[in-house]
Amino acid sequence: MLSTPGAGRTSNKRNNSAIMKRNLKTLASGAALSAIAFMVVGVVTPAGAAPPALQGSVAIRTLTPQELKDYNLTNNVQLASGLNTVGIGQPAYLEALLNNKVPVPDITNVSWTLTAPLGSTAALAESPLGTNVPTYKMADRVVFQVAGRTMLRPDIAGQYTVALQIDTATSGSTNLTQVINAGTYMGVNTCALCHSGGSGGAPNIVTTFNQTAHATFFTRAIDGKESDHYGKNCISCHTVGYDVNTNAINGGFDDLAKTLGWTFPTILTNGNWAAMPAQLQNLANIQCENCHGPGSQHAYSLGDPTKISKSFSAGDCSQCHDSKPNHIRSAEWNNSRHAIATRVPSGAGRQNCVRCHTPAGFEDYIEHVGSSEKYATNVVYEALSCQACHDPHDAKNPHQLRFGSESITLACGTTVTTAGAGTLCMNCHQSRTGSVTNSIERYPLGLPTWANGSSFGPHDNPAADMLEGVNGYTYGKEIPSSAHRSVVKDACVTCHMQTLASTNAGFTMAGGHTFSMTYNKVKEGVTNTVEVTDVCTQCHGEIEEFSLARDDYDGNGVIEGVQDEVQHLLNKLSTLMPNATYLSNSAAYVGDGIVKTSLSVKTNWPAKFLQGAWNWQFVNNDGSKGIHNAAYAVGLLKSSIADLSGDSNNDNLPDSWQVQYFGSANDPKAAPGASPAGDGIPNWMKYSLGLDPTIKATTMPDGVVWVNGKNVSPNTGDTNSIAIYTAAEVSFDTEVGKTYQIQSVSSMSESWENVGEAIVGTGTRMSYVTPTRTKVQQFYRVMHN
């Protein structure tokens, strides 16, 4: 029987306050602080700055088998689901979380109060989780600190309300509550009464769930069809409510097995399952209550949804999938960037973002793909998790994926039919702002370019578009694609989820559900990034890095790795873009010659800049620097550079100058390093000095004497004169990873101006020659980033 408000007991506030004070004292010591730095980040608020927001919350923490080992939790510490529906005698580990920017000394009080059902003698107790144990969710660790903990172990069925008060010196106070439902386990037969497609409106879940591997794992394993080393220590995850703690008497599998005198068979063979008592079979296999908590209160209340848990937390799955070296999915997931997805794309006004940034949003979206009905707009934040991609109730797709592998239509309108399991990934990893023409045509007019407003450029991570070689601005050209899109069977999955052996140094840090192609390796105190190329060797042979040297795409005379070549092209294209200053006169926009790491596009940019900006953002936001589709990335960048610079072959000489003297920009005589006049002076130098490359020059020890037979003295018409000009040579050492810009000024009271384009460092010495004959004096300097 549930208590009425106020009928329950209140925990000893003074005792809880004392615990909190003791915790704060521990946090203040230097030795303790180093041990829990991952939990608490003390931030000094600048004088006059507003104090950080409290952002307090109550979390119920999952505790997994691996964590028992990792944090040395002994003394019969019980595992926990992290659900707010728990079995009698099973723990709910509660945590007070608040903004990690709130300085620890500012936290003045954390106190807990319990209101329990009538007849309960349960009380809040000190949590067995020490300060070395962080909060469970990886996303929470990024923004929250643990300010206090307590534990509830219910002793009777019913509803328990835990109240939390947090007080701080500068960030205010908050009062929060968490309701916990305690009950007993009923088994799948009870769930099936409502959830098997009968009347009453309850979703038909049991029917489809029975087709999953979860629903029959124990049945198969005990009959010897799974493994010859399956034993009684395995069944805690494969049965309902299994907990041998003496407090946990709640109708779970272990309780009933003890009552019936059933013991684990000594031989795994066909017939063991059939010989098991029917009432025990009702609690065997992985079923509803493993993931939703004990169902007695939900059943007795005729399906009250508040009396059962529905969780999208990865911790729900990690109850079982977190025990290395065999059960590694959670360990991999916790090392993924998905697990720490930002909270920003959720909340009111973010309805069109949650489809990819929250698991509930993605579930809603997938259920409405291809339907005219608008998918739901659940904006509540929950870190991405297993349940986002996998449907716990349905095995119609391989690996219980929520989305099949037949085809997907990208936002740009392209339909992809060859991505296999990677089709699921493409739902989010595409340019969700639509087609390139959508941005270029609508953005200058202030019209919506996507569902939530008007902005320019492809969404972050348009990997699907890049892999397929679509949605770039092609200037009407046919730009080729690399072979990855046609030869990699499952697209994203094949490479990013490759299997690493347990002996591999990157085990659980790359591949699998980390989705990472790299990991950090520390050797002799030095951290190096290791690229996992195992899957690449099937086609590319024995390689140790992704950035294979293929061609001199950037035209600097050096063949470097494709990622370096693409980065150089990105840098060069960015120098042809205007800066971030808004100009009312659109004709005044010009490339500023500065290498940029981001572009701030204005609505009145001329079309040529919008076209180049899209391609720069498209390649940059893809993130692979050409690995996904080198041919397409390079083609787009070179096309934009050619359009903006008039250098279609990307050799750093204008096509018009080459055509003027050689008839074609691609004539070998027109190459930058060629010397068609036979004097050893390259075309690039003669272009820099404004001279005719077909006229031979005479070199002298202290400079260059140029004989220009075509137009030496235009004022006199004297074609027999010799003109001797001077030039400045700027010579400097460069480093890889830095970009250099030569600047000049004729008077130190003037502003420095760029000379030529930015130069990307190669680790060698650079020499740049510039004419000076028209200037009385000139000062030069070299700036780098």
Poorest-pLDDT segment among 265-279, 376-390, 673-687, 768-782:
768-782
E strand or H helix at 742, and its extent?
A: strand 739-745
Q: What is the pLDDT of residues 426-481, one digit of tens each?
A: 999 999 888 999 999 999 999 988 876 888 999 999 999 999 999 999 999 999 99
Pair 270, 224: CB distance under 8 Å? yes
Q: Is the pLDDT of residue 4 over 60?
A: no
- Report d(CA 652, CA 61) in Å as an integer: 60
What's residue 97's pLDDT?
98
Which has more pLDDT, 683 or 620? 620
| Residue 760 structure tokens | 């990307």
- Reported as half-sphere exposure (CB side, CA atoms, 13 A), residue 301 has a value of 17
The separation between CA 657 and the C-alpha centre of its own chain, rounded to angstroms, equals: 46
Pair 573, 620: CB distance under 8 Å? no
Tell me the mean pLDDT in the region 106-113: 98
Residue 700: how many CB atoms within 10 A of its CB? 9
Pair 414, 470: CB distance under 8 Å? yes
| Residue 27 structure tokens | 């946090």
Q: What are phi and psi of 486, to 5 degrees?
A: -105, -20
Beta-bridged to residue 327, according to DSSP, are 323
- Report d(CA 220, CA 717) in Å as an integer: 101
What separation in angstroms does the CA of 198 have from each of 57, 90, 183, 203, 300? 39, 33, 25, 9, 18
What's residue 709's pLDDT?
40
- Backbone CA torsion sign across 695, 696, 700, 703: positive
Tell me the mean pLDDT in the region 301-330: 96
The separation between CA 420 and the C-alpha centre of its own chain, rounded to angstroms, equals: 21
| Residue 325 structure tokens | 């070296």
Q: Is the pLDDT of residue 41 over 60?
A: no
Q: What is the pLDDT of residues 241-298, one digit of tens each?
A: 999 999 999 999 999 999 999 999 999 999 999 999 999 999 999 999 999 999 999 9
Tell me the mean pLDDT in the region 353-373: 88
Pair 285, 214: CB distance under 8 Å? yes
Pair 713, 721: CB distance under 8 Å? yes
Task: Name residue, tokens 């390139």.
Answer: 436
Q: Is the pLDDT of residue 25 over 80?
A: no
Query: For residue 125, what pLDDT band results from cuts at 50, 70 and 90?
Result: very high
Q: Is the pLDDT of residue 18 over 70?
A: no
Q: Is the pLDDT of residue 679 over 50?
A: yes
Tell me the mean pLDDT in the region 41-70: 84
E strand or H helix at 219, and its extent?
A: helix 217-222
Q: What is the pLDDT of residues 690-740, one digit of tens each?
A: 778 998 876 544 444 444 443 333 334 444 445 556 677 888 889 998 999
pTM here is: 0.80
Q: What is the pLDDT of residues 396-418, one digit of tens each?
A: 999 999 998 889 999 999 999 99
Provide CB contacts within 8 A for 151, sequence distance 6+. 91, 92, 93, 94, 124, 125, 126, 127, 128
Pair 381, 347: CB distance under 8 Å? yes
What's residue 696's pLDDT?
84
What's residue 775's pLDDT?
67
What's residue 7's pLDDT?
38
Q: Is the pLDDT of residue 630 over 50?
A: yes
Pair 682, 674: CB distance under 8 Å? yes
Query: For residue 300, what pLDDT band results from cuts at 50, 70 and 90?
Result: very high
Pair 54, 309: CB distance under 8 Å? no
Tell me the mean pLDDT in the region 361-382: 83
Task: Please report the beta strands in 441-485, taking only residues with DSSP state E, as ranges in sequence order.
Answer: none
What's residue 199's pLDDT?
65
Tell me the mean pLDDT in the region 512-531: 92
Poorest-pLDDT segment among 89-103, 108-122, 463-477, 733-747:
733-747
Q: What is the pLDDT of residues 333-351, one digit of tens each?
A: 999 999 999 898 888 888 8
Query: For residue 200, what pLDDT band results from cuts at 50, 70 and 90?
Result: confident
Which has more pLDDT, 666 or 153? 153
- Measured distance between the N- and C-terminal CA atoms of the chain, rounded to whole angstroms: 70
Amino acid 541 reads G
What's residue 623's pLDDT?
96
Out of 14-18, 404-408, 767-771, give the one with best mean pLDDT: 404-408
Q: What are phi and psi of 60, to 5 degrees?
A: -100, 120
Q: Is the pLDDT of residue 357 over 80?
A: yes
Domains of the chain: 13-183 (2.60.40.10), 188-293 (no CATH), 432-650 (no CATH), 678-784 (no CATH)
- Report d(CA 281, CA 85) in Å as an integer: 23
Query: For residue 656, what pLDDT band results from cuts at 50, 70 and 90?
Result: confident
> Do the bridges between strand 85-87 and strand 753-754 make them parallel or antiparallel, or are there none, so unpaired?
unpaired
Q: What are phi and psi of 572, to 5 degrees?
A: -65, -45
What's residue 309's pLDDT?
97
What separation in angstroms does the CA of 562 have from each of 183, 317, 545, 625, 735? 60, 40, 11, 8, 19
Whose CA is closest to 131, among 204, 26, 219, 230?
26
What's residue 22's pLDDT?
32
| Residue 166 structure tokens | 């947090």
What's residue 680's pLDDT?
80
Tell me the mean pLDDT in the region 359-384: 85
Query: For residue 47, what pLDDT band results from cuts at 50, 70 and 90?
Result: low
Tell me the mean pLDDT in the region 16-39: 32
Tell me the mean pLDDT in the region 111-139: 97
Provide CB contacts within 8 A for 547, sequence distance 6+. 560, 561, 562, 563, 564, 625, 627
Beta-bridged to residue 709, according to DSSP, are none
Whose CA is closest to 186, among 246, 235, 255, 132?
255
Pair 234, 285: CB distance under 8 Å? no
Tell me the mean pLDDT in the region 623-637: 97
What is the overall mean pLDDT for the chain? Answer: 88
Amino acid 372 reads S
pLDDT-above-90 percentage for the chain = 69
Residue 36: how many CB atoms within 10 A of its CB? 18
What's residue 712's pLDDT?
32
Which has more pLDDT, 25 or 728? 728
Beta-bridged to residue 527, according to DSSP, are 522
